Amino acid sequence: MKHIFRPIILLCLVIPLAFSCVQETPGVLNETIYVRHEGADMPAYVHGNASEKVFILVVHGAGSFGLAFRSGTFTSELEKRYAVVYWDQRGQSMSQGHYSKPEDIISLMADDMMALVQVLRFKYGEDIKLFVLGHSWGGALSATALIDPVNQSLITGWIEMDGAHDFRLAGTARRRLILNTAAEQIALGNQPEAWEEIQTTVTGLDSLPGDDYREMLRQAQQAVRLLVEDDQAEPSAISSEELSRTVFENNPITWKVSDLFNKPFIYARDIDYSVSDQLAQIRIPSLLLWGKYDISVPPTVGYDAYRRLSSSDKKLVIFDRSVHHPYDTEKDLFAAEVIDFVERVK
């Protein structure tokens, strides 16, 4: 009978691990819901203070996932005041389901976002004040959804952060930004030889998607590295909180494999996707946040969007020491701008 006790002890140790408890605070949401739309089951992680019925829906960028944002100011500032909804898009991270590859993936994903908006209103009340915060690819998706006036009527405000709503403009502006930055840094005497090398290489590259695209990105990465080394930009470091969310709350294998099979931004890049011409249809309050050294989606795209938007309440903020993730590199300024915008508009 001795051998019977070993597995019993083992089970006694293991079974408690399968259970956990969460202490609930009134008005504070900590829940996961799924939205089923057109064959996809997409998770939305809702966290934060819902007492004022203000919700911020985070639309993540390409290759990312909703909970990747749930650290730093999102937890320390935004969740204290508002309920933040971290959404995994179709085919990304923990989303699952069965569906064939759609012809127009961008429109479908924009519809997915609006399906989530409807569910949030259904679950938390028609009177919620809902803000959409789109980062990078998420900026393109949210812009696509919001050019429809009906969709705008369901959203209180739009926050676009380094949004890729114009791939062609981003491509040409990227090349120009690298060259301008190189000239600026050479003038400052910051590693002139390295910057001259970048300048020479990028001058010979085509700015449009094609054979030169990868080399352009490589040069962009090199430029960012030099900027950080010379203390011109803040490094985007992964915090332990972010790492924990990536590994334990989000399944890293599922995330990476899903990303491998579903890359809607590549489709958008290949067709030079742009909604710039339709941005004038957006009339809701809008806040545009851009990193000065964002070589992925340069600030030129933000300036262009600011000029085109028809919103009477619109603001463009440039983060002088940021690249593509101002929420991570200039946390306090990011939180202050978002809170100021939400408080003014809600």
Partner 1 sequence: MKMKEPGHNHCYHTQIEGAGVFPALFVSLCLKSKFAIREWSAYIVAATTYFMQHFPLGFKNKKGCLSVVLPILVSVLIHTELQAQADSTVTFALGYYGNNLWNTGLSFDTDYIFRSVSYLDNKGRTRVKQRSAHVLLGGYSDPYNYDARFVQAGFRYRVIKRQKSKGLVYPVLGVNPLGIYRSFLPSTYSVSPQGTISKVFIPGRWYYSPSVSAGLVKAKAIDNPTGFFARIHLMALVPYNTYILPLLNIEVGYQFHFLLRRK
Contacting residues toward partner 1, per CB under 8 A: 3, 6-7, 10-11, 14-15, 17-18, 20, 31-38, 40-41, 43, 45, 67, 90-91, 94-101, 115, 118-119, 122-123, 248-254, 257-258, 261-262
CA distance 54 to 337: 16
Minimum Å distance from CB 74 to partner 1? 16
For residue 45, give the H/E element and its range.
strand 40-49
CA distance 3 to 120: 53
Q: How many CB atoms lie within 10 A of CB 271?
A: 12
Nearer to partner 1, 52 or 259 (CB): 259
Please check whether residue 84 is in contact with residue 48, taking contact to mean a CB–CB distance below 8 angstroms. Answer: yes
Nearer to partner 1, 89 or 156 (CB): 89
* Beta-carbon contacts of residue 245 (< 8 Å; ≥ 6 apart): 67, 68, 70, 71
Please check whether residue 289 is in contact with residue 261, taking contact to mean a CB–CB distance below 8 angstroms. Answer: no
Judged by DSSP in three states, 15 sits in helix
CA distance 177 to 155: 33
Please check whether residue 130 is in contact with residue 118, taking contact to mean a CB–CB distance below 8 angstroms. Answer: no
Nearer to partner 1, 31 or 229 (CB): 31
Closest among 176, 208, 322, 162 to 184, alpha carbons compared: 176
CA distance 207 to 256: 28
Token code pair at residue 219 = 């040069």
Nearer to partner 1, 18 or 237 (CB): 18
Please check whether residue 182 is in contact with residue 199, taking contact to mean a CB–CB distance below 8 angstroms. Answer: yes
Minimum Å distance from CB 240 to partner 1? 16
CA distance 57 to 62: 16
